[in-house]
Homo-oligomer: A and B are copies of this chain.
Amino acid sequence: MNRFITTLAIALLALPAFAADPLPSWNDTGPKKAIVQFVERVTKEGSPDFVPVPERIATFDNDGNLWAEQPVYTQLFFVMDRVKATAPQHPEWATKEPFASVLKGDMKGVMASGEAGLAELIAATHAGMTTEEFSQVVSDWLATARHPKTGKPYTEMVYQPMLELLAYLRANGFKTFIVSGGGVEFMRPWTERVYGIPPEQVVGSTGGLKFEDKEGRYVLRKLPNLVLNDDKDGKPVGIQRHIGRRPIFASGNSDGDLQMLQWTCAGPGARFCLYVHHTDAEREWAYDRESHIGKLYKGLDEAAAKGWTVIDMKEDWNRVFPFQ
């Protein structure tokens, strides 16, 4: 391609988006203004806060930040459905906890099994298959599973304002990543379609894998061990392992995201840390300091102390879900 055409094309693509408001589902309140100001500062050449395109890394938690996490994490609904679907091959589950509680639909019993029980459920439903088989199982489940409150597919339980924010950042040269406590293989089959985030930009909790030669049909089999628990302290670790750069923008909604925000905003130069605060019992859910899911306690205090931006979902978003 000749140099003039290349330059023209790049110049056209670099034109700021004048036309429409890139964040129409955001009210003209503090968070929207702060986001737009930050993006203008880091993208304006010659500005002291200018950040070159390759360093415009933005990381987003998933559960409760890009999609809903109530009444429990979507992946937990998946786990329970998978236990039910595969129970015929495991007659011993009828009397073995936490499987028995899942099969009886006894959510309290499942929760009583604690983290160890949850780990056992995840291992039983996520390991043993090849990565390609697991990806198909996830896709098939998402095609038919429905959220218990709204009756919508889980991939529609995403926050419209965050979809706009992801697109707005990308239009301004940011590379957007997911950094989630959820399983990386559980997210990758659908994040590109739903969020425009390709598999290689998804960081998540990661299980072991084993390369197997099946007479020339090579596969990767999922193992039950965990090589990254991508939550709390694990988030900056996951970011460094996968991305190798400190983000300049990070968004989360719980204390599990606190270390990611600390890591992001302690770097030099312009930084943006964003918390989604669930304050809208009508359109979504209202929960924070004492929630069993997505607890936001230390994070609220630290955001106030450090001047991070906190989205008041009820006040700052004029729309929550795309279907509303």
Contacts and interface: CB of A to CB of B under 8 A. Distances in A.
Interface of A: 1-2, 5-6, 8-10, 12-13, 15-19, 54, 57, 131, 175, 184-185, 188, 192, 198-202, 206, 209-211, 213, 216-218, 220, 227-228, 233, 236-237, 240-245, 259, 262-263, 266
Contacts of A259: 211, 218
Contact of A266 (B6, B216, B237): B216
Contact of A5 (B2, B12, B236): B12
Contacts of A209: 236-237, 240-241
A202 B244 contact: yes
Nearest to A17: B1
Nearest to A265: B218
A274 to B, nearest CB: 18
B9 A13 contact: yes
Given A6-B13, A199-B244, A200-B201, 8 more contacts: A1-B18, A1-B19, A9-B12, A131-B240, A199-B243, A200-B244, A210-B233, A218-B266
Contacts of A10: 9, 13
A272 B313 CA distance: 49
A211 B237 contact: yes
B198 A54 contact: yes
24 contacts: A1-B18, A2-B19, A6-B13, A8-B9, A9-B10, A54-B198, A57-B200, A188-B244, A200-B200, A200-B201, A200-B243, A209-B236, A209-B237, A211-B233, A211-B236, A211-B259, A211-B263, A213-B262, A216-B266, A217-B266, A218-B262, A218-B263, A218-B266, A227-B241
